[in-house]
Amino acid sequence: METMTETPTKQLAEKVQPPKVEPATDEAIANYLRYTCKMAEIAALAERDTAILKACEELKIVISDEELQATGDEFRVKHKLLTASETLAWLEKQRIGPEDWTQGIRMQLLMQKLKERLFLDAIDAHYLTNREEYQRVAFSQIMVAELPVALQIAQTLRAEKVSFAAMAIEHSKAYPSSQHGGFVGIRFLSSLVPEIKQALAGIPEGEIIAPVKTNLGYHILRVEKWFPPSLNESVRAEILEVLFQGWLISNAGDRS
Amino acid sequence: MQIADLPLRSTSNSDSVSILNQRFPPSGLPFYRKLGRTDLTVSCLGIGGGGAISSEDTLYAFDRGLNYFFYSSDLHHFLYRSMSGGLKQLCGRGSSVRDRVILATVTYIKNPEVALSAIFDQFAELGIDYIDILFWGWIGSRDASAFTDCLHLSNDLRGANTVYQRTIEKMVGTSERLKKMGAVRYIGASFHDLDLANQWLDSPLLDVVMVRHNPAHRSAQRQVFNCLDAQNPQRPGVSTFKSTGSHSGVLWDAPASLPKGCWIPNVPDLYRYSLSQNCVDVCLTGMRSRSEIDAAIAGIPQGKLTPAELDYLDLYGDLHRDRINIADISPEKLIYRP
């Protein structure tokens, strides 16, 4: 019977091939963005770039040909586009021309220069004032929907009858940490939801924390390791981004 | 932008060869030694300002080969300041001998929020480009939490291109040395609580450990020195203080019950007592004069104390603290010297 129901469908699929269509025009692409409700998101990014260009003009921030060339070459190395032909083929695949690509590199450089002009000197002061916000923690969690289940899991873990990872794989509803034995990763304490942040604060490594309620469910937590705050390059970049995004938002607010 | 063929780049990194710590032979008392895992080469005798040594004698000590100097900008500053002129000369901006001096400073204000101000005071007073070792001072049994907070600053304090270096630069002006070394090169702690010292022996946040040690106070041997592996290049540097003193009195004064003719250690002997212990790199002293400096230096070539001498001084220290009765000491353990 199954073969009888499948056969007509198969035949139809073989009969009707996907229609050949012309490459989408800019208008068609814009239309797609509208009906998939992505217009606002892309429009905001375009407006952001316009704001960056205006600010750079005002501050007389320019990109030299040498900077442009060096960054373009770095881009090509990163994307393994070592020959001109590979690069041109890649551009064609992206449906853009060399000028579009160059404009993208220029925007990227202008944005970085603007960020640094506006906020590079403010990073250290921001960090020293908000240092505790940059403490990081590696932690694991088991998230379940019911409190009694959470309490039972916490009790079992405290009795050290089974491993945290095994319980997480079996019970946790949190994805993707459940697939990694409950290990969430290393996170800035300030980036966590307030309930989790409060529960983790000051807890010694290895201790099982009683179920914590959030909008998502009940979390059994364990701190794996604390990392003291440190203003390394990645944190500097993050602070620069935070300050810049704040400036962009206030700028957008002024425009509206 | 030009799109031409890019030259192939080599992907192999030529690792720069690290300069490994030179380790001295396990026997004897080399005058200079590496300070634990740091890349600092220190003299085995250090001078702190607690004895109010003058600036002239501080410079004399440097000329005689001592290179480890310890300075407090807060507690007991009225004593330490008498050596500040000498330290300015040795470590101040423009000094031609700065790279031959190890400047250790201490703050007894165990509060991360005040660290910047404490360091600034030291920079302003001594006119320096950088500090080799910044010590958190007087870490007692009630300081566990505050001390943890202080050590959590280590990665922001130590080395070049750190937030503290850049901030100090803004406060005192930039210099090539400050940029290269950072405001602070290494972090140390002076412990009064040996349990805490023991807990932090294996921390990447703490580079140098300083503890009280003398024949009458030997707990550091069990809780610190003997917990370290002399062959481990990653162990922290170790310094002792109060090598000659005890609350029962100075140790060069013989205990009342010591039989006549028994060896009474002099001050250089007491320094060698500390330096004879496992992993002790520096004995920090409170030397006050040129004659004391000369005597201490003259003692070093005698090398480490023998096991019999160490055992004797242990008993000597116990007698000092009335922890043992002379009648309970077997006569063959006593050492008689004219």
| Count of domains observed in chain B | 1
Residue B213 clears pLDDT 60, i.e. is over it: yes
- B178: domain CATH number is 3.20.20.100
Do A57 and A100 lie in one domain? The reply is yes
Q: Answer yes or no: is A84 within a domain.
A: yes
- Cα–Cα distance list, A197 to A133, A225, B63, B127, B258 (Å): 11, 14, 56, 43, 63
Q: Answer yes or no: is A178 within a domain.
A: yes
Q: Answer yes or no: is A151 within a domain.
A: yes
Do A142 and A103 lie in one domain? The reply is no
Do A115 and A165 lie in one domain? The reply is no
Do A166 and A102 lie in one domain? The reply is no
Q: Answer yes or no: is A12 within a domain.
A: no
Do A142 and A200 lie in one domain? The reply is yes
| Count of domains observed in chain A | 2
Q: Answer yes or no: is A43 within a domain.
A: yes
Do A96 and A151 lie in one domain? The reply is no
Q: Answer yes or no: is B224 within a domain.
A: yes
Q: Answer yes or no: is B68 within a domain.
A: yes
Q: Which pLDDT belongs to residue A133?
A: 84
Residue among A77, A128, A229 whose CB faces B9 most closely: A77
Domain that holds residue A89: 26-124
Is B152 close to A77, i.e. CB distance below 8 A?
A: no
Q: Answer yes or no: is A147 within a domain.
A: yes
Residue B27 clears pLDDT 60, i.e. is over it: no
Do A84 and A152 lie in one domain? The reply is no
Q: Answer yes or no: is B328 within a domain.
A: no
Q: Which pLDDT belongs to residue A255?
A: 52
Nearest to B55, CA basis, from B88, B25, B23: B88
Q: Answer yes or no: is B26 within a domain.
A: no
Q: Answer yes or no: is A163 within a domain.
A: yes
The ipTM of this complex is 0.72
Do A91 and A154 lie in one domain? The reply is no
Structure-block tokens of residue B290? 């040129």
Q: Which pLDDT belongs to residue A123?
A: 95
Compute the nearest-CA separation of A58 from chain B (Å). 25
Residue with tokens 């925007």: A107
Q: Which pLDDT belongs to residue B25?
A: 38
Domain that holds residue B297: 32-253+267-304
- A165: domain CATH number is 3.10.50.40
Is A69 close to B163, i.e. CB distance below 8 A?
A: no
Chain A hits for B9, Cβ within 8 Å: 77
Q: Which pLDDT belongs to residue B14?
A: 35
With contact defined as beta carbons under 8 Å apart, do B277 and B309 qualify?
no
Q: Answer yes or no: is A214 within a domain.
A: yes
Mean pLDDT across the stretch A86-111?
Answer: 96
Q: Measured between alpha carbons, how far is B176 from B165 in angstroms, rounded to an integer?
A: 12
A150-200, pLDDT tens digit by residue? 999 999 998 887 899 999 999 999 988 988 999 999 999 888 999 999 999
Do A208 and A141 lie in one domain? The reply is yes
The answer to whether A179 contacts chain B (CB < 8 Å) is no
Mean pLDDT across the stretch A213-235?
Answer: 93
Mean pLDDT across the stretch B252-268?
Answer: 95
Chain center to CA of A171: 27
